[in-house]
Amino acid sequence: MQKPASIDPVDKLRAERARARKIQDPCATLCTVASVDKEGFPQARTLVLRDVQEQLAIFGNETSPKWQQMPEGTVVAVVVWLPSLSLQYRLRCTTRPVATHVVHESWQQRPETPKKLDWLYTHHQPQSTPVADRATLLGILASLDLPEPLIAPDTAAGLFLTPHVIDRLDLDQPDGVHDRRHFERTDRGWLESVLVP
């Protein structure tokens, strides 16, 4: 039975991710994003989930096959698992591009190796394409001619994730019965229902 939500589930997710980061949960900054490829097969991958302009966002490279699977308006499934809190969030989201200048600012926060890989994807070999062996890949990476200062390549991209459906599963209950809540965004705000876990 649906009723107006007692909480904003996106705010709750944000707060619980912040709490998990404080206690160094290894999954606190990650999510799994599932989409469908051009052959109709489901594909899932782990990505960094960021808070950008008070919205959820993921970043990647346009040369990646996953980016072609998630154009603007596409519906994707996102799972956030916080083992330190025994919490799982499942979200159904639509995608919207992050403005280029925001992508370029956020790109500067990436570690050095992923920055170099973005340039490799852009000017040498697209992401997910085959290479002779790992030594060849490392050799190409080491010999890259990178710009100074190091800036984001044109293929760096980002997507905002707008949740429309959220399923929150709290496994840490004293009676052993998981607390599962289902939220749906409507024109009147979020509606909430309690589900059998």
pLDDT band at residue 108 using 50, 70 and 90 as cut-offs: very high
Encoding tokens for residue 80?
A: 């956030």
- Give me the count of residues in the chain: 197
Question: How far is residue 22 from each of residues 29, 32, 51, 52, 187, measured CA to CA in Å?
Answer: 11, 21, 16, 19, 34
pLDDT tens, 109-134?
A: 889 999 999 999 999 999 889 999 99
**Residue pair 180/194 in contact by the 8 Å Cβ criterion:** yes
The 3-state DSSP class for residue 72 equals coil
Residue 6 clears pLDDT 90, i.e. is over it: no
pLDDT tens, 39-91?
A: 999 999 999 999 998 999 999 999 998 888 888 888 999 999 999 999 999 99
> What is the pLDDT at residue 99?
96
Region of residue 86 (left: phi > 0; alpha: psi -120 to 50; beta: else): left
Residue 186 clears pLDDT 90, i.e. is over it: yes
- Using alpha carbons, select from 48, 45, 65, 46 the residue that is nearest to residue 56: 48
Instruction: Let me know if 59 is exposed, middle or buried by CB neighbors in 10 A (0-12, 13-18, 19+).
Output: buried
CA separation for the pair 87, 32 (Å, rounded): 14
pTM of the model: 0.91
> What is the pLDDT at residue 102?
95
Instruction: Let me know if 168 is exposed, middle or buried by CB neighbors in 10 A (0-12, 13-18, 19+).
Output: buried
pLDDT tens, 14-46?
A: 999 999 999 999 999 999 999 988 899 999 999
Domains of the chain: 3-111+153-195 (2.30.110.10)
